[in-house]
Amino acid sequence: MKQAIVYSFKVWLTSVIAAPIIFFLINFISTGISSNIFQLVNFLFYLYIVLATAVASVITWLIFYAIIYFVSRSGWPNRIGLLAIFSSSELLVVVTFKLFLVLLNGFDNTTFNTLMLCHCICIGGGILYYKFEPENSEPN
């Protein structure tokens, strides 16, 4: 149980911190703006996105933890468990973002979808990067 909490928290926190960085890199590359004032505004907006994402995704993190906990108790082989965690977490990110897009009517869809894609990349990458060994699993 403790391993599932630590694993889910690392993946979630990586996404909360790294996804906005990737988002701003994409925007920087696409716009090419490099003035000091723009960089300061971007840094403040980065902090805002990190805070907003962290607050908005707490429930998603708890669901993510429950999925990991279930998979770790299922007895599935590691690869099947990893595939289940990966696919369900990616779906969870998309559903969460689409729900917030509906609730926050008026946001630019392209910007919102880009941020969602950044979170999907970070969640998927975190799942593959951080090692999770379910307690009751068969070897690969």
Classify 73 as helix, strand or coil. Answer: helix
Is the pLDDT score of 38 beyond 70?
Answer: no
- Would the CA dihedral through 87, 92, 93, 97 be positive or negative? positive
User: Tokens for 63?
Assistant: 């669901």
In a domain, 135, yes or no: no
In a domain, 138, yes or no: no
Can you tell me the mean pLDDT for 38-43? 66
Helices marked H in the chain: 2-31, 36-56, 58-74, 78-103, 109-129
Mean of pLDDT over the chain: 84
In a domain, 140, yes or no: no
In a domain, 136, yes or no: no
In a domain, 62, yes or no: yes
What residues make up the domain containing 78? 2-129
In a domain, 134, yes or no: no
| Tally of domains within the chain | 1
Tell me: the pLDDT tens digits for 80-120?
989 999 999 999 999 988 888 888 776 677 888 888 999 99
User: Tokens for 72?
Assistant: 């770790």
How far apart are the C-alpha atoms of 139 and 125, rounded to whole Å? 22
In a domain, 114, yes or no: yes
